[in-house]
């Protein structure tokens, strides 16, 4: 089964990109984005990526966003 996963990504001003968290809905990712955006050490974005199979929030640290994802804000 395929589903969409929304990943909160930080683009550090010092360089590098980091996955912060994964969410099953865009609304949850946008809520987290509002909180994360108060940290001025990085720029944050919610990115969507397709996922096949089942996943849990504890697996989110292993998700990385592919370059061809859709940028949503």
Domain coordinates of the chain in residue numbers?
1-51
pLDDT at residue number 35:
92
Q: Are 21 and 9 in contact (CB under 8 A)?
A: no
pTM over 0.85: no
pLDDT tens for 3-53 read 788 889 888 888 888 888 888 899 999 999 999 988 888 899 998 888 777
Q: What is the pLDDT of residue 58?
A: 63
């Amino acid at each position: 089964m395929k589903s969409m996963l929304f990943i909160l990504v930080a683009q550090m001003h010092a360089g590098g990109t980091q996955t912060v968290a994964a969410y099953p809905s865009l609304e949850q990712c946008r809520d987290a984005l509002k909180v994360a955006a108060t940290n001025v050490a990085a720029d944050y974005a919610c990115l969507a990526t397709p996922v096949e199979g089942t996943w849990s929030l504890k697996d989110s640290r292993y998700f990385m966003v592919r370059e061809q994802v859709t940028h949503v804000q």
